[in-house]
Structures are given as structure tokens and as C-alpha cells.
Structure 1
Amino acid sequence: MDKFILFGDSITQYGNEIVDGFALQPELQNAYIRRLDIVNRGFSGYNSEHARLLLPKILDAELNETRDNVKLMTIFFGTNDGLVGVNPIQPVELSRYKENIEYLVELALANNIKPIVIGPSLHDYKLGAEHFDDLKDTEAATCERYWHYSEGAKSICHKLDVPFIDLWEEFRRNGGWTIEQLLAHKKDSPVAEVSSLSSYLNDGIHFTPKAYKILHKAILKTIEQNYPEYLPENLSFKTAYWRDINPKDPSSIFKEEKQLYL
């Protein structure tokens, strides 16, 4: 079976966990059942520096001999890269982050994979401080900082002509906020009008089902606009419809199903 790899940090890893009846990976797998296998390669706490070490090994494990069976891959790093002043392991300077995203995209392209880069989303300093000891008394995860990382990833995608999901902007539009409001979303800002991002972020960083639904919709929209041949409805089932199986030849199951049956 051909594959669609979700590659990222904890937000990708936790996309496998069903909360309130929804999870990103199962939802995608349901859409692509018998067409593409959805492979979750999310690594909680990892950054783009770790990703450039991991991806060659992941591809060695997942690709076939002709290196043409991984069709799509999301690349979603930046949340840990963009942290500042919390620990020596996770933060990555913006310039290096951009270099890493470029490396990951080029490696995907070199292996016949259609990449989709996802930029880091909005973050809530106050919620983060409530849930993580590392984030207390700092502004390590602000909307302003992640806007710069999102824009950095976007610039690389423009350079390489690959699709980019501006999740920061997707959340902003969904919430009805102005850019000015979000860039001022700090504990001491008198102009900030955004009281909380808790409907999108359960702890200031990680996604609620509402946020994952926005991401899910954005992924399918991006595929439709950039790689329409890989929309679920444009892919054949990898085996025959059961009524088309020749009872005298069970191997006829290996004929691809060209049309969907009810």
C-alpha cells in the first residue's frame, strides 16, 4: 500500500488520540482507507534539528526499492524550535530553522514525495504558564514569536514552490482576531483583546479537537489545490470490489477498484 506520512512533533504525535470523537490521523485514514496508509511519525518534544536526523532513517524504513510508494508527507515543526529561554534542547534559531525546513523539503522531493509544510500556530502565553513549569515567568511561547517562525517556513516554501499551510493565519481567521490583537497577546500588554485561546489550545501549545479539525480541513484543501490527483476520491481502491471477484480465480482481488459501490 502506498503511504501518506505525517511527520512532526507532539502536535502530530497526539493527532492519533481521539478526543470528543475526533482525531486527525484516524480521520485521514478513514478518508484514505484502501487508498493510502496514514503513517504517524510524530515525535513529542522534537525540533527541526532532530527532524533532519530522523527523516533519512524514516524514509529508509518506509520507502520501497524504487522509492515511489510514499506519495504525500506533511512536515510540521516549529513549536519547539520557537521556544526561548526554557531549556538547551528544544530552541532553534530562526535562521537555522529555515535551513532545516529547506533540507526536509528537498529530501522529500528527492524521494518523489509531495510535501506539505505546516507552520506553527498561535500560542497562548498565559495558558502555557499554567500548565508547564518551563514556561512560567517567561514569554517563551507567544503568538508574536511563532508568527516569525511561520513566516520563515512560508518563505522557504515560496522559494521551493511547495505548498504551505499557514496555521497561524487559519486560527486567526477562525477566531476573528486582527493580527495586531494577536501580536499584542502578552501578559503585560494593555492593548491585547484576546483573553484566551483555550478553545484551540488546551494547554497553551497543544491542540483541542477544534484546532485539529481546522488542520484536517486545511490539509485536504491544500491537497485539492496542489496535488488533486491525491484527493481520496481521485484514488482507486487497491483491490477489487468484492462482487467483481472471479470465484474461480481468487487472485482477481488484485485488480484495482475503479469505481465506488454502495
Structure 2
Amino acid sequence: MRPRFILLGDSITEESFSPAGGWGAALTSRYARKADVVLRGFSGYNTRWALFLLSRLFPAGSEDTPALVTIFFGANDAALPDGSHKRQYVPLPEYKENLLKIISSVKSLSKDTLIVLITPPPVDEATLQVAAWKFFGARPEDASPRKNEITGHYAKACVEVAREAEVPVIDLWTCMQEQPGWQTSYLSDGLHLTPEGNGVVFEKLVEVLNKKGLSFEAMKWDFPEHGDVNAENPAKTSW
């Protein structure tokens, strides 16, 4: 059977199969006939709520262990505790603890599963404030429900967890802000990703996979290429 790549996260993961350049869709295309990419994105979820999914996503004793699990939470955890999205807020120490629990749950299934943490991307507060007013019932005078500086603390904590757990991490919050004009080139509404932003996630993830032995070139086809099939008697094909 093909190896499975499980993408676990919030709306930025849920939207990763968007026809407009989603990073999950790009990964599926990249690994066609090499791996099955399984989408497990849950819009609006934080790490606290994600903990209740673990027993069903990664049931104990399962032999069908994934080759890769990406863990992409933090954008909702970093909501302001007194803002319009306060129900999603998770204190920073708990966020780190929750990430460690998720990692531990995956590691308990198999030591061979590659786990990759992804930090929340940066936040464009001005654009997000308008989006909150238009789509989430906030008043025009209300402040942005998230602050880029605060999100940066969560991104730093995610990097620290990765170091402690000895797993790779993609620091989106830092690398995206290295590009001038990131607010509009990488973010569609101040929080979620544009096609270009999705492209950054895809490129950074492929870099990690290439380094960790899960490159497209290193993985085997699940069945022979068509030119190798015995045309007269397919059952006698050598593979």
C-alpha cells in the first residue's frame, strides 16, 4: 500500500486542497502514485480541541501508521483572550504542552513516522480587522482579533517544542516576513494564505521531506510504470 501523509491542523490546513494553489493539493500532485495525502484540517480548531481528535485520528494499536504527519496549529490558539475570538484562545504554556501531547500521540504509534511542525503564519492586523468586521460580526471600531506580535510568541514556542521533541519545524512566521509586501502577497484576509502563501508552505515542506528520506525520487512507485507492464499478460509483470 502507498505510504500515507496526514495533514493535521486548522483552517489553513483544511483549505490546503483549495483549487487556487493549495499546498496540500500541490503535495498530492507532487507525490502522485508515491503517497496518499490525507487531509485532516479542522477550521477554527486550536490545540486544546485537537487533543480530543487524537484517539480517532491515531487509534492505539493501529498498524496502518502514517509515513508523515504535519502538525499546523497556533493561529487560533493565539487569538486575543479579550477579543472577539476569545473562545479560541489557548494560553502559551498550554499551547506548548498540547503540541507535545499531539507529538507524543503520533510517536506512540511508530518511531518511523516523520513529524513536521509548522508555525502559524504572520498576521496582517489591519486586513484582519476588516475581515472580522465583514465576516464575523465584529464592529468596525473593534480591534483586530489577533496581533502579529502575539502570534510571533506562539511561533517561537512552536519552534521550541520542535527542538525539545527533536522534530523538524517550518517557521512560517519568520520566513514569510522576510519577503517585502508579505501582507498581501502571502495573506488573503490577514490570516489565511494566498496561492503564493500556499506555495511557501509547499516548498518548505518539500525541502524537509527531501532531507528526511521522503523525497519523491527516493520513494517507489506503487505499481510498475506502464512501459514495464506485460501487455499480453499483466499478471506476469515483474515488479
- Report the TM-score when normalising by structure 1: 0.81
Taking the aligned partners of 1:80 and 1:252, their CA distance within structure 2 comes to: 54
Taking the aligned partners of 1:253 and 1:16, their CA distance within structure 2 comes to: 35
- Number of residue pairs matched by the alignment: 229
Identify the residue that residue 222 of structure 2 maps to in structure 1.
238
Partner SS state of residue 184, structure 2: coil
Q: CA deviation at 1:245?
A: 2.4
Identify the residue that residue 162 of structure 1 maps to in structure 2.
167
Q: Does the 8 A contact of 1:2 with 1:37 survive in 2?
A: yes
Which whole-Å deviations, capped at 9, do the CAs of 1:115-142 have from their partners, x for residues lacking one?
1000011101110111113565224312
Q: Within the alignment, does 1:210 sit opposite 2:182 as a pair? A: no
Structure 1: runs of 5 or more not aligned: 176-193, 256-262
RMSD: 2.1
Q: Does the 8 A contact of 2:79 with 2:86 survive in 1?
A: no
Which of 79, 104, 124 aligns to 1:83? It is 79
Q: Does the 8 A contact of 1:81 with 1:92 survive in 2?
A: yes
- Identity across matched positions, percent: 28
Structure 2: runs of 5 or more not aligned: none
Taking the aligned partners of 2:126 and 2:237, their CA distance within structure 1 comes to: 56
Q: Does the 8 A contact of 1:67 with 1:111 survive in 2?
A: no
Identify the residue that residue 143 of structure 2 maps to in structure 1.
138
Identify the residue that residue 59 of structure 1 maps to in structure 2.
58
- Aligned residue runs from structure 1 range 185-224, under 5 A: 197-224=183-210
Q: CA deviation at 1:30?
A: 1.1
Structure 1 stretches of 4+ moved >6 Å: none
Q: Does the 8 A contact of 2:77 with 2:95 survive in 1?
A: yes
Identify the residue that residue 23 of structure 1 maps to in structure 2.
22
Distance 1:253 1:23, change over 3 A: farther
Q: Does the 8 A contact of 2:132 with 2:144 survive in 1?
A: no
Distance 1:94 1:5, change over 3 A: same
Distance 1:247 1:64, change over 3 A: farther
Q: Could you tell which deviates more after superposition, 95-104 or 234-243?
A: 234-243
Taking the aligned partners of 1:131 and 1:115, their CA distance within structure 2 comes to: 33
The higher relative CO (CA closer than 8 Å, separation ≥ 6) is in: 2
Taking the aligned partners of 2:19 and 2:237, their CA distance within structure 1 comes to: 33
